[in-house]
Amino acid sequence: MPFNPFDFVNTNASLFENEWENYRSFFEKFFNLNEKNATQTRTIPIDLYQRQHDLLLVLEIPGLKDEKDIQLKVVGQTLIVEGEINRSYIPQEGEIVKSERKVGKFSRKVTIPVAFDSKKIHARYQNGLLEIRIPIIKSNNYDKIMVRFTDR
């Protein structure tokens, strides 16, 4: 009878299944892949463009349903985008076979490198993309500072 390396695997399949489960469990814990850790805050990808009259930020955030899922605020020169993407279906214990969709809380802080008026910022969400337009303030105004000389 010729040697077949798969005979050993076929006759000892339960051994490999147990080992695979141990490896899977280890990697889920190490890389935070299990469902319990899915609510950790994550960073969202962003593109930032500086145009002649404004800055355009494009953030990829698929899965938002309405205004209550996202919040934008400006603190000093920093734009903060925060929110949460919720599952449309809540799985029962043991139902998840594979989960690759990003759900849970997200946050992104972007320092705006130019002068801007926060009251004129416009944001629009469509097809999973959040577009934020920030008008640039062009100012030729400056304050002259007098230098006072004193005798020693």
29 pLDDT above the threshold of 60: no
Share the mean pLDDT of the chain.
Answer: 80
Three-class SS state of 7: helix
Residue 68 lies in a domain: yes
Residue 10 lies in a domain: no
Structural domain count, the chain: 1
Mean pLDDT, residues 112-129 taken together: 93
Report pLDDT for 39.
Answer: 46
Domain that holds residue 70: 37-135
Cβ-in-10-Å burial (0-12, 13-18, 19+) of 118 comes to middle
Record the pTM.
0.62
Distance CA 43, CA 7 (A): 47
* DSSP 8-state symbol, 91: P
Which strands form 78-85's sheet, in the order they lie side by side?
A: 42-43, 104-111, 78-85, 70-75
**Between residues 14 and 93, the one the model is more confident about:** 93
Residue 144 lies in a domain: no
77 pLDDT above the threshold of 90: yes
Q: E strand or H helix at 109, and its extent? A: strand 104-111
Mean pLDDT, residues 136-147 taken together: 77
Residue 59 lies in a domain: yes
Distance CA 107, CA 118 (A): 19
Residue 60 lies in a domain: yes
Distance CA 130, CA 82 (A): 12
Q: Which of 56, 75, 60 is nearest to 123 (CA)?
A: 56
78 pLDDT above the threshold of 90: yes
Report pLDDT for 38.
Answer: 46
In the chain, % of residues over pLDDT 70: 70
pLDDT tens sequence across 45-75: 999 999 989 999 999 999 899 999 999 999 9
